[in-house]
Structure 1
């Protein structure tokens, strides 16, 4: 361990207790690894430039406010046993992450390994701390190279965890983008892209608009960096994602990001017509173009749109209704498929959103008319056969 000077205390003429200076302190010492594992718990604050001691009071015994909102958090859970150091040195998360950017702070791969471990903690706070710590360390070329080998798979796992905190998802997406934009060979970047591309579409419908936007932006960036041989592995997934991006173009919070991602998807698939209508921002023609595919794909898109009739922003729900109506006209000869769309739209008769209710009722009436015409045509053909 390198020499360091810690908690060097000064008192001026006014009796104000002073400051702490840090020089060449190993990160694992700050994490409290000298004698105990990493942990987050309630406790007082270390003595710092504000004059607070471990009881959260100043030199006169008066209580002072916490440097962070909410419960006090400290990193480390055990007394430091390094000779010459404070017997109970601990740092708040704010101080800890400020020190991560210090040039005099010694960082090793073992410190990065600790952050990897705690990235999968059951505590959202610990996950955030670990992700922010990794983001701070990613500025070091050696650390960044190590993270690019190990972190992508862990970040994907973290993003797909049930009930994951939206703040954790945001930090994970930002870190993934930072690693992808680092000094990587195209083959390595393509491998990262394949690893994450299949998981991101699930985040397009996240309740957090920031998570939705970052996941869509990252999805577009992944498509751009893939090499040809890796494109075949995700081509079908990208094709399934077209309907999601199309509907999200009607979500004001992510409309621009969705349009750019849809354009990148059209380029990725080599679909010239779709690329042209997206580039010209002809929204209604985008839906028509998607319906020009094989029946199996149209049915998949309709099933996806039915789900969005309920749990989605109003703009997305309206776009789903319009797409279902257009699909019904194209599939009008397939009675059972059209009947399923009709029942899905009928459920919107009592929807609390007036615009959704109105468009849903109008579209269901159109589908009912189509069904009646279809039945009349079948009856007429049957009569002709009998004659």
Structure 2
């Protein structure tokens, strides 16, 4: 983008009553952000669902001055950004109608051809939630996914620290500008994250971590990934908002179940009960439901060791056979493994629940 185009996008962001959806309409109609400010108001008013009130303030020079000041900040701090029509704009977020028209970023973020998971949860994480975060990352690490979260207290920072410990790229989505770190207690984690991942935000350097910004930020967390996981949540909270947004984007949502009496499991249990989220007890279930496959046999062996443990003798016999021979009929598996049909059928069902095999049309089964 040229400097004039960038300034036009920034200027557009500051116009009251023009959000991301309307901004995209204007850009599409005019052919680019700069052209919006060169067009006549009467032409812009011809756009469907855009009226005089929406465009009030569009040509105010104060917004031009604000845009210039923010652009100077970006240049001074050598910060990068992505316009929603750029190739390097997050591909999943591109499909969200209300995705930010401009994302500011810092660090070493590489989203190309990568598996992306968003993880959210309570700020009051329990020992149960902490253990799940660490185990989940241990299990999923061989797939080398990007872990996205909100860099907040509790589940967010716990999952991001676990990702860093395993060398995974992790991204923090912020509710303020890149000129500050919030909460300040997490400042020590900023450099490691920027070294292997980074930070994303739609907010300017003039923005503070206000409550409404966190709620707005949640749509980026939900929209940037293939799936959102809620690890712990009370009956109400930002994590449930993020899950709801992810459902609205038609993304997969997972929730970690807990005891009915546990305060910070009630939100997750409710998501599962209302069929707003898949029940998640291990990384294997996420791998299975997302249909993720490993490209290298060596990696598959590594994941097998970490994800799929405690197979009994019969299960191991069936798994080894399917691994060696590929997709097979139920009857063939029973015959070759020297097992009765009823025993083979029940064993395969148990293995499916463990996430080590998947059923296919025509009574076929294959190892994952």
Q: Which has the higher contact order (CA 8 A, sep 6+)?
A: 2
The normalised TM-score by structure 1 is 0.28
The normalised TM-score by structure 2 is 0.29
> Which structure: greater helix fraction?
1
